[in-house]
Amino acid sequence: MTGPYTQPLVYFFGQGRADGTAAMKEILGGKGAGLAEMTTIGIPVPPGFTIASSLCNHYIESNQFPKRLRVEVENTLQRLETATGKHFGDGDNPLLVSVRSGAAVSMPGMMETILNLGLNDITVEGLTRQSDNPRFAWDSYRRFVQMYGSVVFALSKRPFDHLLEEARQRCGAGRDIDLPLDEVQALVRKFKEVIRAETGREFPDDPVRQLWGAIAAVFESWNTRRAIDYRKLHDIPDSMGTAVNVVAMVFGNLGEDSGTGVTFSRDPSTGERTLYGEFLLNAQGEDVVSGSRTPLPIAALRDTLPHAYQELERVARTLERHFRDLQDMEFTIERGVLYMLQTRRGQRSGQAAVQVACDMVDEGLISEEEAVARIPPNDLDQLLHSTIDPTSRLDLLTTGLPASPGAACGTAVFDADRAEQMGRAGQPAILVRRETSPDDFHGMVLAKAILTARGGMTSHAAVVARGMGKPCVAGAQDLQVDEKANRFSVNGRSIGEGDWITVDGSTGKVFAGQAALVTPEPSGNFLRLMQWADRIRQLRVRVNADTPADAHRGRDFGAEGIGLCRTEHMFFDGERLSAMREMIVAPDTAGRERALAKLLPMQRADFEAIFRAMEGYPVTIRLLDPPLHEFLPHEEPETAALAVELDMPVEHLQTLIDRLQEVNPMLGLRGCRLGIVYPEITAMQVRAIFEAACTVASRKGRVMPEVMIPLTASVVEFRKQAFIVRQVAEEVFRERQITVPFLLGTMIELPRACVTADELAREAQFFSFGTNDLTQTTWGLSRDDAGRFLPHYLEQGVIEADPFQVLDQAGVGKLIQLACDLGRKTRNDLKLGICGEHGGEPGSVAFCDRLGMNYVSCSPFRVPIARLASAQAALAARGTMDRTRATV
């Protein structure tokens, strides 16, 4: 409590002057700062004052106000009386005020408000005279006593509501305002009696006592259960406290030329430059909030009160010019005169965010940098994927992991063949599986969306779906999938084949039935914004693409190369899978080489198409990474079919499959370990890469392959694999009589690689951080199994975010930084990038920018997000970001 004694505690605003400014949110709260700033710039605002938020916790702890506050409030009250020409307790011209909370961060509906403060048996007569409307005056008095009873005396609302309802029924009054005067007057008396009976205390008639009671109640409302819970949920510190705004009353309920409402300065869904909101004639704010009357769209105000509407439009434009952003405003019209009660930055949809930002650049309101700085990158998801119409009535079944964004509806199917069949017939199907395997691939291609009960954000289902830009909810733990019976049950419900479901891969939610979807249209503004972002950013953005189709999609989204081409995904379909399986079960090197020879032309053709799609941009190809058993059938009928195909006794095949099983496949025979145990696999893949590269180069195409060794733990592993790569590359160059420049580097995805990065960089020309696996090993945490306790961890605050979605900078990030530092110490032109899921997560992108990486790489649909996030990171590095953020 040192601050409050050296800074003012109370900040007056009125008559075009204010003690506070918009920049003083911390002290005045959002509402108080807005009122002060509006006053200063000439917006019509009723005069008032704000009590600093720093007093809030002081009051809560000590249960008393500092003496200086009493002095300052008294002095400021005098300024308020002067400004309004009204006086507290004045029987002729009474000053009435509203008392509202207002923290630095918006906490809608969380804290208390008291209106009409200052009324008592004397001043109600003054209000009667002023308004020439006794029923209005007494109704205001009645509301005030009622509010005061529940807020300041903390009484239940029920006895008041009960008395009011009784009176209304007795008089047959539809609305409160229709009650006869004597009934209202009787209610005021009865309400005061309720207070006396329940608390043993008298309702205070003295407006100054009323005021202190209200201020205390607003401060105390900071500490109600629901406010505390809300803050916990939204990560708002308890120490922040709320300010208290005391504002001269204006009345929206003085007749049909009065009213109250809320409006955005532009449409927050579309960004259209037109007021968007709603209002009620002859009403006070709480009538809008309570929902007892249905408000009208703001456009209707143009006809009803055209002057007020014009004034509102003028105010909206002024505020937008001043704050240089979309505004969300509250207003009251008292007898045709507009008063603004609040303004703040308006929340908006992704589409509106882009539209507004671009329009404001065109209007000269903001710079292109500011436009780029103010779009939350993840909002772009809404521009790229279908979303559920927010007005839909939804029947939530369960929530899983948001594994691949977008929403889709379809009927549930439980096997891949059925999904494929329906897809070919043009019928929307959603493939529901306990988990997917390569055998499901053909069905996934034709399903509208994927839903799995097991597996994490990088399970087979999730990775494949993201690559295809198809919605996927993975790891919905509550789902009990009975694949034989073609149904799943969840929380007591049962869904069978043919039942409609809706899957939202952006939120992880699964609904019963067919929800209405909103499909985005690509806009020119989106492209402009991306261009601005591209001019600003330092980081290159690449795409994780495994097939020529992915590569093209990546280019369409602006990717400048492929950061991760997972060659194993090329093996997951049809005859490739067969050849792959033949290779895996081969008894010796010769057998493996025969099967690999079948795969060679397929891989070569894929690489050729990918190189062409990338038009000379770098393509980082990761050599075979997953454990071989991932390619083998998991169930008996498939094993039997494979045995026939391979002309092998099924028992023998089963033994081979069993032998390949691993206790911890994540930590088993995979990555470069495969290439070291079976060098012929590396040789085949490298041959495919360089034959494809030579073919493209020999037809004058540009091509820049970057061969990446996966899961390197020690420089010796790298050296062994690098030897094969260079040897085969030179062989191919000799055969084709052309040389293609290439880089040879490694994925950094093990802690050991990070701590020995200086040695690795002696041999490797680039590092690409595989942050998925690096997170798994650094935390000792399997993505596939974390679902059983990560929710507990998030709930109990052990972690702030799922480390597979948001890079754990304090832990994994330290290892990455160490690896970058050690690596560049040995090789100062070491190329650095990231290719895990985090490559498209804005906070993680900013981290990569700070470390001076060369690029980030992510799934196709996240490329625009990464481009925007990179630009914002660059602006933040220049210090521009903070400035532009502070003004919005």
Where residue 57 falls (left for φ over 0; alpha for ψ -120 to 50; beta otherwise) is alpha
Closer residue to a second copy in complex, CB, 314/825: 825
Of the candidate spans 510-518, 577-585, 632-640, 774-782, the one that interacts with a second copy by CB under 8 A turns out to be: 774-782
Query: Could you tell me the smallest distance in angstroms from the CB atom of residue 120 to a second copy?
Result: 52
CB 584 within 8 A of CB 521: no
Work out whether 484 is an interface residue with a second copy (CB under 8 A). no
CB 218 within 8 A of CB 111: yes
Closer residue to a second copy in complex, CB, 656/876: 656
Closer residue to a second copy in complex, CB, 500/779: 779
CA–CA gap between residue 206 and residue 214 (Å, rounded): 12
Where residue 721 falls (left for φ over 0; alpha for ψ -120 to 50; beta otherwise) is alpha
Structure tokens at 775: 């997170």
Q: Which listed residue (460, 569, 629, 838) is catalytic? A: 460
Query: Could you tell me the smallest distance in angstroms from the CB atom of residue 789 to a second copy?
Result: 5
Structure tokens at 395: 């029947």
Work out whether 714 is an interface residue with a second copy (CB under 8 A). yes
Closer residue to a second copy in complex, CB, 271/675: 675
Query: Could you tell me the smallest distance in angstroms from the CB atom of residue 805 to a second copy?
Result: 16
Structure tokens at 623: 């050599």
Work out whether 666 is an interface residue with a second copy (CB under 8 A). yes
Closer residue to a second copy in complex, CB, 262/750: 750
Query: Could you tell me the smallest distance in angstroms from the CB atom of residue 825 to a second copy?
Result: 14
Nearest Cα to Cα of residue 91 among 123, 117, 129: 123
Work out whether 131 is an interface residue with a second copy (CB under 8 A). no
Of the candidate spans 269-277, 368-376, 520-528, 775-783, the one that interacts with a second copy by CB under 8 A turns out to be: 775-783
Closer residue to a second copy in complex, CB, 83/764: 764
Residue in 568, 680, 706, 749 binding a second copy, rule: CB under 8 A: 749
Query: Could you tell me the smallest distance in angstroms from the CB atom of residue 777 to a second copy?
Result: 5
Closer residue to a second copy in complex, CB, 578/817: 817
Work out whether 229 is an interface residue with a second copy (CB under 8 A). no
Query: Could you tell me the smallest distance in angstroms from the CB atom of residue 773 to a second copy?
Result: 7
Query: Could you tell me the smallest distance in angstroms from the CB atom of residue 491 to a second copy?
Result: 15
Work out whether 368 is an interface residue with a second copy (CB under 8 A). no
CB 871 within 8 A of CB 533: yes
Residue in 169, 294, 737, 796 binding a second copy, rule: CB under 8 A: 796
CA–CA gap between residue 21 and residue 38 (Å, rounded): 9
Find all residues with CB under 8 Å of 796, minimum gap 6, and list them: none
Work out whether 773 is an interface residue with a second copy (CB under 8 A). yes
Amino acid occupying residue 431: L
Helices (H), 152-206: 158-171, 181-199
Work out whether 664 is an interface residue with a second copy (CB under 8 A). yes
Residue in 516, 669, 743, 851 binding a second copy, rule: CB under 8 A: 669
Nearest Cα to Cα of residue 342 among 33, 105, 34: 34
Closer residue to a second copy in complex, CB, 529/781: 781
Q: Provide the 8-state DSSP code for 417.
A: H
Residue in 778, 844, 854, 884 binding a second copy, rule: CB under 8 A: 778
If you write DSSP's letter for every residue of 748-791 in order, what string do you get?
E-SHHHHHTHHHHHHH-SEEEE-HHHHHHHHHT--TTTGGGTHH
What mask of x and - would describe binding to a second copy in positions 506 to 525, judged by CB under 8 A? --------------------
CA–CA gap between residue 715 and residue 181 (Å, rounded): 90
Burial of 879 (0-12, 13-18, 19+ CB in 10 A): exposed
Query: Could you tell me the smallest distance in angstroms from the CB atom of residue 666 to a second copy?
Result: 4
Closer residue to a second copy in complex, CB, 122/676: 676
Size of the site for a second copy (CB under 8 A): 50
If you write DSSP's letter for every residue of 545-565 in order, what string do you get?
--SHHHHHHHHHTT--SEEEE
Residue in 748, 750, 832, 848 binding a second copy, rule: CB under 8 A: 750
CB 747 within 8 A of CB 835: yes
3-state secondary structure of 156: coil
Residue 672 a catalytic site member? no
Work out whether 665 is an interface residue with a second copy (CB under 8 A). yes
Residue in 125, 793, 805, 876 binding a second copy, rule: CB under 8 A: 793
CA–CA gap between residue 594 and residue 576 (Å, rounded): 13
**Beta pairing, strands 743-748 & 704-709:** parallel
Residue in 99, 565, 704, 713 binding a second copy, rule: CB under 8 A: 713
Of the candidate spans 234-242, 352-360, 611-619, 777-785, the one that interacts with a second copy by CB under 8 A turns out to be: 777-785
CA–CA gap between residue 727 and residue 671 (Å, rounded): 20
| R_g of the chain computed on alpha carbons | 33
Chain-centroid distance, C-alpha 310: 36
Closer residue to a second copy in complex, CB, 135/752: 752
Of the candidate spans 253-261, 266-274, 595-603, 792-800, the one that interacts with a second copy by CB under 8 A turns out to be: 792-800
Closer residue to a second copy in complex, CB, 301/708: 708
Start-to-end CA distance of the chain, whole Å, equals 30
Residue 162 a catalytic site member? no
CA–CA gap between residue 203 and residue 214 (Å, rounded): 12
Query: Could you tell me the smallest distance in angstroms from the CB atom of residue 717 to a second copy?
Result: 6
Residue in 359, 784, 841, 849 binding a second copy, rule: CB under 8 A: 784
Residue in 174, 492, 587, 780 binding a second copy, rule: CB under 8 A: 780
Work out whether 668 is an interface residue with a second copy (CB under 8 A). yes
Find all residues with CB under 8 Å of 496, minimum gap 6, and list them: 412, 485, 486, 487
Q: Which listed residue (56, 409, 835, 858) is catalytic? A: 835
- Number of Cα atoms under 13 Å in the Cβ half of residue 188: 20
**Beta pairing, strands 407-413 & 401-404:** unpaired
Residue in 23, 71, 755, 801 binding a second copy, rule: CB under 8 A: 755
Query: Could you tell me the smallest distance in angstroms from the CB atom of residue 443 to a second copy?
Result: 22
CB 767 within 8 A of CB 833: yes
Residue in 105, 173, 516, 676 binding a second copy, rule: CB under 8 A: 676
Of the candidate spans 496-504, 733-741, 796-804, 873-881, the one that interacts with a second copy by CB under 8 A turns out to be: 796-804
Q: For tokens 């992108």, what's the residue? A: 845
Residues 604-663 touching a second copy, rule: CB under 8 A, are: 662-663
Work out whether 232 is an interface residue with a second copy (CB under 8 A). no
Work out whether 798 is an interface residue with a second copy (CB under 8 A). yes
Closer residue to a second copy in complex, CB, 147/711: 711
What 208-213 contacts at long range (C-beta under 8 Å, 24+ apart), as own/partner pairs, is 208/77, 208/88, 208/89, 210/117, 210/118, 210/120, 210/148, 211/73, 211/77, 211/88, 211/97, 211/99, 211/117, 211/118, 211/246, 212/65, 213/148, 213/152
Closer residue to a second copy in complex, CB, 640/676: 676
Helix %, strand %, coil % of the chain (to 5): 50, 15, 30
Residue in 392, 782, 805, 887 binding a second copy, rule: CB under 8 A: 782
What mask of x and - would describe binding to a second copy in positions 799 to 828, judged by CB under 8 A? x--------x-xxx-xx--x----------
CA–CA gap between residue 414 and residue 482 (Å, rounded): 8
Residues forming the active site: 460, 835
Which residues of this protein are in contact with a second copy, per CB under 8 A? 662-669, 671, 673, 676-677, 711, 713-714, 716-717, 720, 749-752, 755-756, 773, 776-782, 784-786, 788-789, 792-793, 796-799, 808, 810-812, 814-815, 818
